[in-house]
Chains A and B, each alone.
Chain A
Amino acid sequence: DAKTTQPTSMDCAEGRAANLPCNHSTISGNEYVYWYRQIHSQGPQYIIHGLKNNETNEMASLIITEDRKSSTLILPHATLRDTAVYYCIVRVRYTGTASKLTFGTGTRLQVTL
């Protein structure tokens, strides 16, 4: 699985958009970009994933650059409950053999009043 680089921490004011960047310059053509988050003491929670097109769901939007070497997770209206560690993971989606989900250290997002 390709390695990812994320900032260690970010702050965001409540109600504003939170834009979390991720670099994955060694991504392969068949690797997807996944985002998970972990709110303090809880199990990681899936947010969104994509291959090359931008994706949106009820939680967030995922913007992937045309060369696929970086992406941005957007939380459009951050709330205090979005305070968490956000993990960007790049991996093959359909695989006949098991592969681990490699969690790096992620970005700690602090949403403030």
Chain B
Amino acid sequence: NAGVTQTPKFQVLKTGQSMTLQCAQDMNHEYMSWYRQDPGMGLRLIHYSVGAGITDQGEVPNGYNVSRSTTEDFPLRLLSAAPSQTSVYFCASSSNPGETQYFGPGTRLLVL
């Protein structure tokens, strides 16, 4: 049982490039979400999903897309990277939105 896994651990992008941050969980959780954390700040919700085929926006969705084709996977796509997207990205999952959330180890992204 690996829990929540995220790849890559680190990534450097140039402005305008696109990429996909991967997130997978093996706990059969319906609810998955993406957060970003900037230095000295709390976590801010980007997008979330209550189940396969269902996604919705969080508080900072601009510049990001998500899809949920399976229960296990919830990738986050940066369409055209900007320096303001330099951050640490965390994926989380839980059995339902109100239950305990389990977080992945994070992806550190630097956009030059």
Q: Please report A residues at the B interface, Cβ cutoff 8 Å.
A: 32, 34, 41-46, 49, 87, 91-95, 97-106
Min distance, Cβ B21 to any Cβ of chain A, angstroms: 13
Chain B residue numbers with a CB within 8 Å of A42 are 105-106
Please classify the interface of chain A as helix (H, G, I), strand (E, B), loop, or mixed, using the class held by over half of its residues: loop
Residue among A46, A49, A100, A103 making CB contact with B102, cutoff 8 Å: A46
What residues make up the interface of B, taking CB atoms closer than 8 Å to A? 4, 31, 33, 41-43, 45, 48, 50, 56, 58-59, 88, 90, 92, 96-106
Interchain CB contact under 8 A, A98 and B50: yes
Contact A93 B42 (CB under 8 A): no
Q: Are A91 and B98 in contact (CB under 8 A)?
A: yes
Q: A94 and B98 in contact (CB under 8 A), knowing A100-B33, A100-B58, A103-B43?
A: yes
- 25 A-B residue pairs with Cβ-Cβ distance under 8 Å, sorted by A, are A32-B98, A34-B100, A41-B88, A41-B106, A43-B4, A43-B92, A43-B104, A43-B106, A44-B90, A44-B103, A46-B102, A49-B100, A91-B98, A94-B98, A97-B50, A97-B97, A98-B31, A98-B50, A98-B56, A100-B48, A100-B59, A101-B33, A101-B92, A104-B42, A105-B42
